[in-house]
Structure 1
Amino acid sequence: MTDKIAAIILAAGKGTRMKSDLHKVLHPIAGRPMLLHLVASVGELSPQRTITVVGAGREQVEAAVAPHGVEIAHQAEQLGTGHAVRMAEDALAGFNGDVLILYGDVPLVSPETMTRMLDRLHADDAPAAVVLGFRPTDPGAYGRIIADRDGWIEKMVEYKDATVAERAETLCNSGLMAARANDLFALLGRVTNDNAAGEYYLPDIVMLAAADGRPSAVIETDAHEVAGVNSRAELARLERDWQDKRRDTAMADGVTLIAPETVWFSYDTQLGRDVTVEPNVVFGPGVTIADKVVIHAFSHLEGATVASGASVGPYARLRPGAVLEEDARIGNFVEMKKAVLGKGAKASHLTYLGDASVGAGANIGAGTITCNYDGFLKYQTVIGEGAFIGSNSALVAPVTIGDGALVAAGSVVTRDVEADALALARGEQKALPGWAKRFRAKMAERKGKK
């Protein structure tokens, strides 16, 4: 494989079958837009150039790829895959390396498969191009590849133009291809639209090169890797397949999934060894879980970091910026956002910790909330090591509770509490003997007169 690589990603289609205002290639799988899955995989090959060919909805695509250093080429008219690739020719003027041609709605092609394509291109027998083929359960309307036992392509034909015998072939064209830049654009310049659809087909370059005495080769991959998305149903199926593979990987790496089919991972979820994940847990993007953590049922985590020995849930929610240090615990119906729960600290139930820092060994009683927002700005709550916050307390930020301090249950704390002090901030309890009995009698009499 050469170290001079460019990638052309085709993403100009309208995606009308998605019935969405969001561009098709930006619909997510495992919490990441399909197109960015592909950009990340290409990035592992360290390409010199990555160009996305856009058309309808170009503004959305441009905004999505801009932070990743991806260039843009525009296809104003949808005149076929060959025409789409030619739209990147000016951008690659002077580039004489290898070109990978990929599709934004075929998001799960691995870097390893891309590398295999490029290695085959540079084999001693020097094919003109390399095509990625696959054998789906139902070949349907895919274009067919007719090849010999050694993988040399004898013919490539679109389904619309194929004979009955050619349609019986099970080796299908994924559309993905690798070719040298000089060969690619020279051949594309000779492609015509003399076919049933009146379009410029990218696969035609294979037959043009063959006519010049330079055959092309096909390598195969499994159908899952080149599955495309044209509808929400296909998107859901690809999500399901991705999740199944990720679950298997997690368990192979030493994670216990009690009910694997109910656990949903994000593209970047990181799990340590001897982690236990109970049923119905969802990992959003940006979650890192260390060794020996237990995630109890019905918990939702996103943008969170959980250290070894910690316990989460059940029914817990960790939002971005949540950090649990070693052996910390949050229990049922606890929510954390931009908050740190120190080593061995715990908030066992019915608590909200937002914009907060909780010291090691502190205990947060049920019903406690950090009042971090005044309708305009967010403020910080600091709870010291070994502090005890009584049930149903409201800590009105900005406020600091010192080490070892105790906040009495039901308190509304608006001022700092020094270390080892007791803070008691609630109304005085009064009891009026017989009042309730007299009240009931009075109301019963009033009701009887109506």
Structure 2
Amino acid sequence: MTHRPLAVIVLAAGKGTRMKSARHKVLHPIAGKPMLRHLLDSAAGLKPVKTVVVVGAGREQVEAAVAPLGVSVAHQAEQLGTGHAVAQAADALQGFTGDVLILYGDVPLVSPETMERMVARLHEADAPAVVVLGFRPSDPGAYGRIIADADGRIGKMVEFKDATAEERAVDLCNSGLMAVAGEDLFALLDRVGNDNAAGEYYLPDIVMLAAADGRASAVIETTAGEVAGVNSRAELAVVEEAWQQARRQQAMADGASLVAPDTVWFSHDTVIGRDVTIEPNVIFGPGVTIADDVTIHAFSHLEGAQVAADASVGPYARLRPGAVMERGSRVGNFVEMKKARLGEGAKANHLTYLGDAEIGAKANIGAGTITCNYDGFFKYRTVIGAGAFVGSNSALVAPVTIGEGAIVGAGSTITADVPADALALVRPPQTSKSGWAERFRKLMRARKEAK
């Protein structure tokens, strides 16, 4: 890699009308993170000294999304083509001397390695004026074509609308991504015209303008999947699936077992340890960390949760933000946790809600237990001590503390603290009336027969 400074221009000015959405196209998520953020995070791996996002329609949404990132914004008031869009970054890069990488906000899966290859190609012995990222899709369709020799030297680039039948037969297509020396980029753009079928200023025209100056350009290739663009909900789903497939393969390569890989959905920041078993139909939302030797049983949903080693989740469990399961803890079917910590070796195996709670080591939470943490206005905390036993169908009305080793009898509604090692029973005495049921049935049958 060259040590020249690098600037990145990301085009995000398109309207995205085919998405049929009030949300800007580049802000639609893949694996829980906006497309644009995927791309910017990848580009950040190259440590650019300047990043410029070109905005247009719906600019307020995009500007708000990138504001915390410290990138610059340029405005394309009219969408007059890709060349015109890149030209809007000229003021933001005034005086910049270095290399410029041009990316697209709706082409989110380009890897840092591919970006590095593009910039590095600028500095090979033949010193191309422009480096273009090409690909060979199964259906070239309406993509612009690249006519190049065996060494990747570009003879011609042409938009599909302006291509001849012979040129359209070429399967090497233009992704739109380019690397150009900053000293050349805007001077070439100043010479781009709009005498074409669409009346637009095409960025690829800088290749032929450089050729007219006696300077050749080069193409390097990548897979069609890496440069897949998103212009519709259907294309978004295709790119999401491609990202998920790659992440599933990575999880398995790193030592996790996915019983039915195609049914597991990861978030962009999911962390999975080794010897983790993930059963079918598990969904990871953002902010989940799974340690080694954990089992996630089928149909569980985790978001914003931390699960320590040797823990077990589900089936049909839901861990919401703030859920923490310590080593060897267990939650079973239809258990929900939110802002709750389940201590080492503690368990809640059935039909339980634990919200705003602290559960000590080796405590046992019986089936049907809930922490009543909300009064309609405020949230309150429940503390359950180590080794405590909470019987089935209990309601713990927060704020309340169950002491270490205490036992709460089944069916209790606890509204006051329970001391350590105490037994808490909240239910009326059981009574039995001998023969009552039989007398009741006889009376009811007689009434029914009398009608």
CA change 1:206–1:416 in 2 (3 A) is: same
Q: Following the alignment from structure 1 to structure 2, what is the Cα–Cα distance between the partners of residues 432 and 24?
A: 70
Q: Which runs of 5+ in 2 are unaligned?
A: none
1:29 aligns with 2:30: yes
CA change 1:428–1:220 in 2 (3 A) is: same
Q: Following the alignment from structure 1 to structure 2, what is the Cα–Cα distance between the partners of residues 127 and 142?
A: 23
Partner of 2:59: 58
Q: Following the alignment from structure 2 to structure 1, what is the Cα–Cα distance between the partners of residues 305 and 191?
A: 54
Q: Following the alignment from structure 2 to structure 1, what is the Cα–Cα distance between the partners of residues 145 and 344?
A: 60
Q: Superposed, which structure 2 residues align to 1:262-301 within 5 Å?
A: 262-301=263-302
1:396 aligns with 2:419: no
1:375 aligns with 2:369: no
Deviation at 1:272, TM superposition (A): 0.8
Quick one: which amino acid aligns to residue 318 of structure 1?
L
Q: Which runs of 5+ in 1 are unaligned?
A: none
Q: Superposed, which structure 2 residues align to 1:295-310 within 5 Å?
A: 295-310=296-311
Q: Superposed, which structure 2 residues align to 1:244-393 within 5 Å?
A: 244-393=245-394
Partner of 2:184: 183
Name the stretch that deviates more: 234-243 or 1-10.
1-10
1:224 aligns with 2:221: no
Quick one: which amino acid aligns to residue 155 of structure 1?
K
Deviation at 1:255, TM superposition (A): 1.0
> Is the 1:294–1:310 contact (alpha carbons within 8 Å) kept by the matching residues of 2?
yes
Q: Superposed, which structure 2 residues align to 1:208-219 within 5 Å?
A: 208-219=209-220
Q: Following the alignment from structure 2 to structure 1, what is the Cα–Cα distance between the partners of residues 450 and 96?
A: 96
Deviation at 1:118, TM superposition (A): 0.8
Q: Following the alignment from structure 2 to structure 1, what is the Cα–Cα distance between the partners of residues 276 and 217?
A: 48
The SS at the match of 1:349 is strand
> Is the 1:2–1:98 contact (alpha carbons within 8 Å) kept by the matching residues of 2?
no
Deviation at 1:312, TM superposition (A): 0.6
Q: Following the alignment from structure 2 to structure 1, what is the Cα–Cα distance between the partners of residues 287 and 72?
A: 26
Partner of 1:155: 156
Partner of 2:131: 130
1:416 aligns with 2:431: no
Q: Superposed, which structure 2 residues align to 1:57-76 within 5 Å?
A: 57-76=58-77
% identical aligned pairs: 75
Q: Following the alignment from structure 1 to structure 2, what is the Cα–Cα distance between the partners of residues 94 and 403?
A: 68
The SS at the match of 2:226 is helix
> Is the 1:2–1:97 contact (alpha carbons within 8 Å) kept by the matching residues of 2?
no
RMSD across aligned C-alpha pairs, in angstroms?
A: 1.4
Q: Following the alignment from structure 1 to structure 2, what is the Cα–Cα distance between the partners of residues 220 and 87?
A: 27
Partner of 2:21: 20
Q: Deviations over 1:367-398 (max 9, x none)?
A: 01111111111111111111111111111111
Quick one: which amino acid aligns to residue 322 of structure 2?
G
Partner of 1:84: 85
Q: Following the alignment from structure 2 to structure 1, what is the Cα–Cα distance between the partners of residues 68 and 428?
A: 54
Deviation at 1:166, TM superposition (A): 0.8
Partner of 1:200: 201
TM-score (norm 2): 0.97
Q: Following the alignment from structure 1 to structure 2, what is the Cα–Cα distance between the partners of residues 57 and 429?
A: 67
Quick one: which amino acid aligns to residue 155 of structure 2?
E
Q: Following the alignment from structure 2 to structure 1, what is the Cα–Cα distance between the partners of residues 272 and 9?
A: 33
Quick one: which amino acid aligns to residue 388 of structure 1?
F
Deviation at 1:430, TM superposition (A): 3.1
Partner of 1:44: 45
Deviation at 1:448, TM superposition (A): 5.3
Deviation at 1:182, TM superposition (A): 2.2
Q: Following the alignment from structure 1 to structure 2, what is the Cα–Cα distance between the partners of residues 385 and 325?
A: 13
Q: Deviations over 1:390-424 (max 9, x none)?
A: 11111111111111111111111111112111111
Q: Deviations over 1:179-212 (max 9, x none)?
A: 1222111111111111000000000111111111
The SS at the match of 1:247 is helix
